[in-house]
Amino acid sequence: MSSNEFILEAKPRADVGKGASRRLRRLENEIPAIIYGAGKDPLSITLRHDDIFHAIEDEAFFSSILEINVAGDMESVIIKDLQRHPAKPVLMHADFLRVRADVELTVNVPLHFLNEEACVGVKMENGQISHLMNELEISCLPKNLPEYIEVDMLEVHTGDSVHISDLVLPEGVTSIDLSHGEANDLAVAAVNEVREQVEVEPVESGEAVEGEEGAEGTDGADDSSGDEDKSE
Protein backbone atom coordinates (compact mmCIF):
# COMPACT_ATOMS: atom_id res chain seq x y z
CA MET A 1 0.00 0.00 0.00
CA SER A 2 1.08 3.55 -0.60
CA SER A 3 2.56 5.35 2.36
CA ASN A 4 2.23 8.71 0.62
CA GLU A 5 -0.63 11.11 1.16
CA PHE A 6 -1.40 13.70 -1.47
CA ILE A 7 -3.65 16.64 -0.63
CA LEU A 8 -4.29 19.36 -3.20
CA GLU A 9 -6.03 22.68 -2.65
CA ALA A 10 -8.52 23.72 -5.32
CA LYS A 11 -11.12 26.36 -6.09
CA PRO A 12 -14.45 25.93 -7.91
CA ARG A 13 -14.35 27.27 -11.44
CA ALA A 14 -17.34 28.92 -13.09
CA ASP A 15 -15.55 30.58 -16.00
CA VAL A 16 -14.93 27.82 -18.54
CA GLY A 17 -13.67 27.79 -22.11
CA LYS A 18 -10.30 28.01 -23.85
CA GLY A 19 -9.91 31.73 -23.27
CA ALA A 20 -10.57 31.43 -19.56
CA SER A 21 -8.15 28.49 -19.32
CA ARG A 22 -5.40 30.47 -21.03
CA ARG A 23 -5.92 33.38 -18.64
CA LEU A 24 -5.69 31.02 -15.67
CA ARG A 25 -2.38 29.62 -16.80
CA ARG A 26 -0.87 32.91 -17.91
CA LEU A 27 -2.03 35.33 -15.23
CA GLU A 28 -2.71 33.26 -12.12
CA ASN A 29 -0.32 30.31 -12.50
CA GLU A 30 -3.25 27.92 -12.16
CA ILE A 31 -4.54 25.13 -14.37
CA PRO A 32 -8.11 24.04 -15.07
CA ALA A 33 -9.22 20.58 -13.99
CA ILE A 34 -12.37 18.50 -13.64
CA ILE A 35 -13.62 16.00 -11.08
CA TYR A 36 -16.23 13.49 -12.25
CA GLY A 37 -17.72 10.07 -11.51
CA ALA A 38 -19.35 8.26 -8.54
CA GLY A 39 -22.81 9.23 -9.76
CA LYS A 40 -22.26 12.93 -9.06
CA ASP A 41 -22.22 15.93 -11.37
CA PRO A 42 -18.85 16.91 -12.84
CA LEU A 43 -17.08 19.66 -10.93
CA SER A 44 -14.85 22.19 -12.68
CA ILE A 45 -11.97 23.40 -10.52
CA THR A 46 -8.65 25.20 -10.66
CA LEU A 47 -5.38 24.01 -9.10
CA ARG A 48 -2.16 25.83 -8.43
CA HIS A 49 0.19 24.77 -11.21
CA ASP A 50 3.27 24.48 -8.99
CA ASP A 51 1.46 22.33 -6.39
CA ILE A 52 0.50 19.61 -8.84
CA PHE A 53 3.72 19.98 -10.85
CA HIS A 54 5.79 19.11 -7.76
CA ALA A 55 3.37 16.37 -6.69
CA ILE A 56 3.78 14.45 -9.95
CA GLU A 57 7.52 14.18 -9.38
CA ASP A 58 6.61 11.29 -7.09
CA GLU A 59 5.51 8.31 -9.21
CA ALA A 60 3.17 7.27 -6.38
CA PHE A 61 0.96 10.24 -7.31
CA PHE A 62 -0.36 8.25 -10.28
CA SER A 63 -1.28 5.17 -8.23
CA SER A 64 -2.61 6.74 -5.03
CA ILE A 65 -5.92 7.96 -3.71
CA LEU A 66 -5.64 11.75 -3.80
CA GLU A 67 -7.54 14.20 -1.63
CA ILE A 68 -8.66 17.47 -3.19
CA ASN A 69 -9.96 20.21 -0.91
CA VAL A 70 -12.48 22.23 -2.92
CA ALA A 71 -13.46 25.21 -0.79
CA GLY A 72 -13.74 23.04 2.33
CA ASP A 73 -15.28 19.97 0.68
CA MET A 74 -12.91 16.98 0.38
CA GLU A 75 -13.02 14.85 -2.75
CA SER A 76 -11.29 11.45 -2.88
CA VAL A 77 -10.03 10.88 -6.41
CA ILE A 78 -7.45 9.27 -8.66
CA ILE A 79 -5.75 10.98 -11.58
CA LYS A 80 -7.12 9.77 -14.92
CA ASP A 81 -5.54 12.17 -17.39
CA LEU A 82 -2.90 14.88 -17.31
CA GLN A 83 -2.31 17.08 -20.33
CA ARG A 84 1.14 18.62 -20.76
CA HIS A 85 2.44 21.32 -23.04
CA PRO A 86 4.12 19.66 -26.05
CA ALA A 87 7.29 21.76 -25.80
CA LYS A 88 7.42 23.35 -22.33
CA PRO A 89 7.52 21.93 -18.79
CA VAL A 90 3.98 23.16 -18.24
CA LEU A 91 0.80 21.32 -17.27
CA MET A 92 -2.34 22.23 -19.20
CA HIS A 93 -5.30 20.31 -17.72
CA ALA A 94 -6.09 17.48 -15.30
CA ASP A 95 -8.94 14.97 -15.07
CA PHE A 96 -9.77 13.31 -11.73
CA LEU A 97 -12.11 10.38 -11.13
CA ARG A 98 -14.00 10.18 -7.84
CA VAL A 99 -13.56 6.94 -5.92
CA ARG A 100 -16.00 5.05 -3.74
CA ALA A 101 -14.93 2.62 -1.06
CA ASP A 102 -17.24 -0.10 -2.44
CA VAL A 103 -16.41 0.28 -6.14
CA GLU A 104 -13.32 -1.29 -7.73
CA LEU A 105 -10.84 0.89 -9.60
CA THR A 106 -8.97 0.15 -12.80
CA VAL A 107 -5.52 1.71 -12.55
CA ASN A 108 -2.06 1.40 -14.12
CA VAL A 109 0.48 0.72 -11.37
CA PRO A 110 4.28 0.99 -11.88
CA LEU A 111 6.48 -2.11 -11.72
CA HIS A 112 9.58 -2.13 -9.51
CA PHE A 113 12.28 -4.60 -10.58
CA LEU A 114 14.21 -6.17 -7.69
CA ASN A 115 17.54 -8.07 -7.47
CA GLU A 116 18.63 -7.23 -11.00
CA GLU A 117 22.35 -7.17 -10.20
CA ALA A 118 22.10 -10.46 -8.27
CA CYS A 119 19.99 -12.11 -10.98
CA VAL A 120 21.32 -15.62 -11.79
CA GLY A 121 21.10 -15.00 -15.52
CA VAL A 122 23.09 -11.78 -15.22
CA LYS A 123 25.63 -12.69 -12.55
CA MET A 124 26.37 -16.29 -13.52
CA GLU A 125 25.29 -16.68 -17.15
CA ASN A 126 26.34 -13.43 -18.86
CA GLY A 127 22.75 -12.41 -19.54
CA GLN A 128 21.12 -9.00 -19.82
CA ILE A 129 17.72 -8.00 -18.46
CA SER A 130 15.11 -6.47 -20.75
CA HIS A 131 12.06 -4.72 -19.29
CA LEU A 132 9.09 -5.56 -21.49
CA MET A 133 6.53 -3.74 -19.31
CA ASN A 134 6.93 -0.76 -16.99
CA GLU A 135 3.44 -0.77 -15.50
CA LEU A 136 0.55 -3.17 -14.99
CA GLU A 137 -3.15 -2.51 -15.33
CA ILE A 138 -4.96 -3.77 -12.24
CA SER A 139 -8.37 -3.77 -10.62
CA CYS A 140 -9.00 -3.43 -6.88
CA LEU A 141 -10.96 -1.62 -4.21
CA PRO A 142 -9.50 1.74 -3.16
CA LYS A 143 -8.31 0.34 0.18
CA ASN A 144 -6.20 -2.29 -1.63
CA LEU A 145 -4.56 0.03 -4.16
CA PRO A 146 -0.78 -0.63 -4.17
CA GLU A 147 1.78 2.06 -4.84
CA TYR A 148 3.71 -0.35 -7.05
CA ILE A 149 4.12 -4.06 -7.81
CA GLU A 150 7.41 -5.89 -7.33
CA VAL A 151 9.10 -8.04 -9.97
CA ASP A 152 11.76 -10.28 -8.40
CA MET A 153 14.50 -11.10 -10.93
CA LEU A 154 16.76 -13.06 -8.55
CA GLU A 155 16.18 -16.62 -9.83
CA VAL A 156 15.61 -15.85 -13.51
CA HIS A 157 18.02 -17.69 -15.82
CA THR A 158 19.27 -16.58 -19.23
CA GLY A 159 16.66 -17.40 -21.85
CA ASP A 160 13.78 -17.24 -19.35
CA SER A 161 11.03 -14.66 -18.90
CA VAL A 162 8.88 -13.40 -16.05
CA HIS A 163 5.18 -13.33 -16.90
CA ILE A 164 2.26 -11.57 -15.25
CA SER A 165 1.18 -14.86 -13.68
CA ASP A 166 4.59 -15.06 -11.95
CA LEU A 167 4.01 -11.82 -10.06
CA VAL A 168 2.87 -11.85 -6.44
CA LEU A 169 -0.06 -9.44 -6.43
CA PRO A 170 -1.24 -7.92 -3.14
CA GLU A 171 -4.44 -9.24 -1.60
CA GLY A 172 -7.53 -8.01 -3.39
CA VAL A 173 -5.62 -7.01 -6.53
CA THR A 174 -6.22 -8.65 -9.92
CA SER A 175 -4.56 -8.21 -13.30
CA ILE A 176 -6.82 -6.94 -16.06
CA ASP A 177 -4.79 -8.87 -18.67
CA LEU A 178 -5.08 -12.17 -16.83
CA SER A 179 -8.81 -11.65 -16.35
CA HIS A 180 -9.09 -11.93 -20.14
CA GLY A 181 -7.55 -15.42 -20.23
CA GLU A 182 -4.22 -17.24 -20.30
CA ALA A 183 -3.46 -15.95 -23.80
CA ASN A 184 -2.95 -12.54 -22.20
CA ASP A 185 -0.31 -13.73 -19.74
CA LEU A 186 2.23 -11.31 -21.16
CA ALA A 187 5.96 -11.29 -20.46
CA VAL A 188 7.00 -8.57 -18.02
CA ALA A 189 10.78 -9.01 -18.28
CA ALA A 190 13.32 -11.37 -19.86
CA VAL A 191 16.98 -12.27 -19.45
CA ASN A 192 18.63 -12.48 -22.86
CA GLU A 193 21.99 -13.93 -23.80
CA VAL A 194 24.62 -11.34 -24.63
CA ARG A 195 26.36 -12.35 -27.83
CA GLU A 196 30.01 -11.46 -28.14
CA GLN A 197 30.86 -9.28 -31.10
CA VAL A 198 33.68 -10.56 -33.33
CA GLU A 199 36.03 -7.78 -34.35
CA VAL A 200 37.12 -7.85 -38.00
CA GLU A 201 40.48 -6.25 -38.76
CA PRO A 202 40.19 -3.77 -41.63
CA VAL A 203 42.33 -4.33 -44.77
CA GLU A 204 44.94 -1.60 -45.06
CA SER A 205 44.98 0.53 -48.18
CA GLY A 206 47.40 -0.74 -50.84
CA GLU A 207 47.33 -4.41 -49.79
CA ALA A 208 46.43 -6.74 -52.61
CA VAL A 209 43.39 -8.91 -52.04
CA GLU A 210 44.06 -12.58 -52.60
CA GLY A 211 43.28 -13.57 -56.18
CA GLU A 212 43.48 -10.09 -57.68
CA GLU A 213 47.00 -10.48 -59.20
CA GLY A 214 46.10 -13.72 -60.90
CA ALA A 215 42.96 -12.21 -62.30
CA GLU A 216 44.88 -9.26 -63.71
CA GLY A 217 47.46 -11.59 -65.33
CA THR A 218 44.73 -13.60 -67.00
CA ASP A 219 43.13 -10.47 -68.35
CA GLY A 220 46.48 -9.41 -69.80
CA ALA A 221 46.93 -12.76 -71.57
CA ASP A 222 43.50 -12.45 -73.11
CA ASP A 223 44.28 -8.98 -74.38
CA SER A 224 47.58 -10.03 -76.01
CA SER A 225 45.92 -12.99 -77.65
CA GLY A 226 43.36 -10.68 -79.10
CA ASP A 227 46.09 -8.39 -80.46
CA GLU A 228 47.81 -11.34 -82.19
CA ASP A 229 44.56 -12.26 -83.87
CA LYS A 230 44.19 -8.75 -85.19
CA SER A 231 47.74 -8.71 -86.60
CA GLU A 232 47.20 -11.84 -88.64
Query: pLDDT (tens digit, 9 = 90+) per residue, 115-151?
Result: 999 999 999 999 999 999 999 999 999 999 999 999 9
Tell me, yes or no, whether 70 and 111 share the same domain: no
Tell me, yes or no, whether 110 and 92 share the same domain: no
Q: Which of 99, 117, 139 is the last residue of a domain?
A: 99
Q: Which of 99, 133, 160 is the last residue of a domain?
A: 99
Pairing of strands 149-152, 91-98: unpaired
Please report, rounded to a whole number, the percentage of residues in the chain having pLDDT higher than 90: 73
Q: What is the pTM of this model?
A: 0.75
Task: Give the pLDDT of residue 199.
Answer: 64
Tell me, yes or no, whether 87 and 64 share the same domain: yes
What is the per-residue burial (b if ≥16 Cβ within 10 Å, else e) of 21-46?
beebbeeeebbbbbbebeeeeebbbb
Q: Which domain holds residue 123?
A: 106-193
Residue 125 lies in a domain: yes
Q: If we measure between CA atoms, which residue out of 144, 189, 152, 188 comes closest to residue 170?
A: 144
Specify whether the CB–CB gap between 42 and 34 falls below 8 A: yes
Confidence of residue 232 (pLDDT cuts 50, 70, 90): very low
Tell me, yes or no, whether 157 and 183 share the same domain: yes
Tell me, yes or no, whether 110 and 152 share the same domain: yes
| 27 or 79: which leads in pLDDT | 79
CATH number of the domain that residue 157 is part of: 2.170.120.20
Task: Give the pLDDT of residue 190.
Answer: 98
Residues 6+ apart with CB under 8 A from 31: 21, 24, 25, 46, 47, 49, 52, 91, 92, 93, 94
Task: Give the pLDDT of residue 207.
Answer: 55
Say whether pLDDT at 3 is over 50. Answer: no
